Amino acid sequence: MKTVFTSAEQIQKGLDSAAGIGEKFSHIGQWKVQFISWICTFILIAAAGLLYYVSVRYLVIVWGLNKFRKYYLRPTLVDNNELVDLLSRVPSFTEIDRYRQIRGRMSKRTSCRGC
């Protein structure tokens, strides 16, 4: 019975993280974090312009050569995922609610100091 509860908890955590990633993408599209949304808009416009002038074949060749170059010049290099780094800076709905609760408590504490 204990294994059923632990597996159900793991499934719930996995679904929560998947929903959180979807919420973060929707927040970027809804301009909740405007700085990151502007960066994504600029990147999409630049990518569209690049794809208009340069063939995808050449971009894949350059990307592959860059990956091999990094690996052979610095084999101990740890590769990071920029998309995950970007999404970690965008809040999900639960993080926004937690921030509102903390902010509400802080404003109640500071408003009564002069009382």
pLDDT at 91: 83
- Distance from C-alpha of 94 to C-alpha of 18, rounded to nearest angstrom: 13
pLDDT above 90 covers a percentage of the chain that reads 25
Q: How far apart are CA 88 and CA 47, in angstroms?
A: 22
Rounded to an integer, what distance in angstroms lies between the CA atom of residue 70 and that of residue 115? 62
Is residue 30 classed as helix, strand or coil in its secondary structure? coil
What predicted TM-score, i.e. pTM, was given to this entire model? 0.60
In 3D space, the residue among 81, 94, 80 whose CA is nearest the CA of residue 24 turns out to be: 94
- Residues 35-84: pLDDT tens digits? 888 988 999 999 999 999 999 999 999 989 988 888 888 878 777 777 88
The predicted model gives 2-8 an average pLDDT of 88
The amino acid at 71: Y
Query: If pLDDT is split at 50, 70 and 90, which confidence band does 11 have?
Result: very high
